Structure 1
Amino acid sequence: MTPAERAAVQAHLRRLFGNNRIAVMAPERKGASVELRVGDEFIGTIHRDAEDGEVSYAVQIVVLSEDLEMPN
């Protein structure tokens, strides 16, 4: 994903969720997934898909069970 694509996806997600702390970060190593963060916390990845001239971006959010507050 290019820097311009990352910036556009980040701006869209910030508007969509009303959260300016959302950050779309370039991967540390080539070929790795683009990271989705809220502040300093990693929350998932973003994957680019180009098929038949159409481009889309899939967001995968990770929720660890240890982070959940379970009702009694």
Structure 2
Amino acid sequence: MITPEEIARVVAYLRGQFKNDRINIKPPAKPNAPVEVYIGDEFIGVLHRDDDEGEVSYDLNISILEEDLPGMV
């Protein structure tokens, strides 16, 4: 489970890395529900917390649908 404090830290990190203050993470509505990441109102992916022998990391999984890509040039 990702805490609100962790969410705030990850949001600050992502905003700094991507220079985009519109990045936001919504806490899950229910326990064990995915943690959703947005840019503005656009859903871009889910965030997972991994705790391996005391080493914590966060994985951002971004899915891009082929139908959302621009046409071939």
TM-score by length of 2: 0.93
Structure 1 distance, partners of 2:7, 2:51, is 15
Gaps of 5+ in 1: none
Matched, 1:52 2:57: no
Structure 1 distance, partners of 2:43, 2:3, is 20
For each residue in 1:40-60, what CA deviation from the matched residue of structure 2 results, as whole angstroms up to 9, or x when unmatched? 010000000001111000000
RMSD: 0.8
SS at match of 2:6: helix
Gaps of 5+ in 2: none
Structure 2 distance, partners of 1:29, 1:21, is 24
In the alignment of these two chains, the number of paired residues is 72
